[in-house]
């Protein structure tokens, strides 16, 4: 038997943590009094993104492809440090071609992964862009209301999720860079990590909780759809 000892994460996974922070739903009085939609600040949300980008930079340097990067697979530990988890689909190689059928996290997958079952670090970068959208939307479901068939059709045609109202243009531009059609045009995790760290150091409200749209999240299992 193989046993793995992992660190205990007292706050659970990032997706649930983000959704539980939605005071518009859980504590409307608090939301009204403080003029905010979340118990989390813009700085804390950016720090989650920095933590994940830094972790992915390390993994990509070691030539590991995660293949399932999403808020549900990030754990929140002590001091609200975000740590990448769930390496069930990860591969230790530069390029991985999936040759078997199965259920996959379609809404987080890059175009080349959807169309050709090809996975690289740059497909993880695409997934990071979706994860960044999850953070800004406090756990919203990506492409909520769209079917997998629609994603297969519209993503190659250039469709991308719109900018959330509470999201600064610079953060959304980073998402769009992660979602570029050509993998080689997407930024490396080293660049993403530096860019997000600079945003955080600027102490600007890159995620404005006063403008939160109260994103919905689907009741379907969006993590394991037929690909």
State the Cα–Cα distance between residues 54 and 193, nearest whole angstrom.
6
How deeply is 56 buried, as exposed, middle or buried, from its count of CB atoms within 10 A (0-12, 13-18, 19+)?
Answer: buried
State the Cα–Cα distance between residues 185 and 216, nearest whole angstrom.
31
CB of 122 within 8 A of CB of 186?
yes
In degrees rounded to 5, what are phi and psi of residue 147? Answer: -90, 165
Task: Exactly one of 51, 68, 124, 168 is catalytic; name it.
Answer: 68
Active site (annotated) includes residue 68: yes
State the Cα–Cα distance between residues 85 and 56, nearest whole angstrom.
11
Task: Cite the active site residues.
Answer: 68
């Amino acid at each position: 038997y193989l046993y793995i000892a992992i660190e205990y994460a007292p706050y659970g996974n990032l997706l649930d943590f983000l959704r539980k922070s939605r005071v518009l739903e859980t504590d409307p009085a608090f939301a009204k009094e403080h003029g905010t939609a979340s118990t989390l600040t813009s700085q804390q949300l950016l720090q989650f993104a920095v933590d994940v980008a830094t972790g992915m930079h390390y993994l990509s340097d070691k030539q590991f492809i995660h293949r399932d990067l999403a808020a549900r697979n990030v754990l929140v530990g002590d001091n609200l440090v975000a740590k990448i988890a769930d390496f069930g689909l990860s591969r230790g190689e530069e390029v991985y071609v999936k040759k078997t059928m199965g259920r996959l996290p379609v809404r987080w997958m890059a175009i080349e992964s959807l169309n050709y079952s090809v996975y690289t670090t740059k497909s993880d970068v695409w997934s990071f862009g979706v994860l960044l959208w999850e953070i800004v939307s406090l756990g919203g479901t990506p492409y909520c209301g769209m079917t997998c068939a629609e994603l297969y059709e519209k993503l190659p045609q250039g469709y991308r999720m719109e900018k959330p109202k509470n999201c600064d243009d610079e953060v959304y531009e980073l998402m769009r860079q992660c979602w570029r059609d050509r993998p080689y045009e997407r930024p490396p995790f080293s660049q993403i990590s530096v860019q997000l760290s600079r945003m955080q150091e600027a102490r600007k409200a890159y995620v404005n909780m006063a403008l939160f749209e109260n994103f919905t999240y689907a009741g379907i299992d969006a993590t394991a759809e037929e690909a």
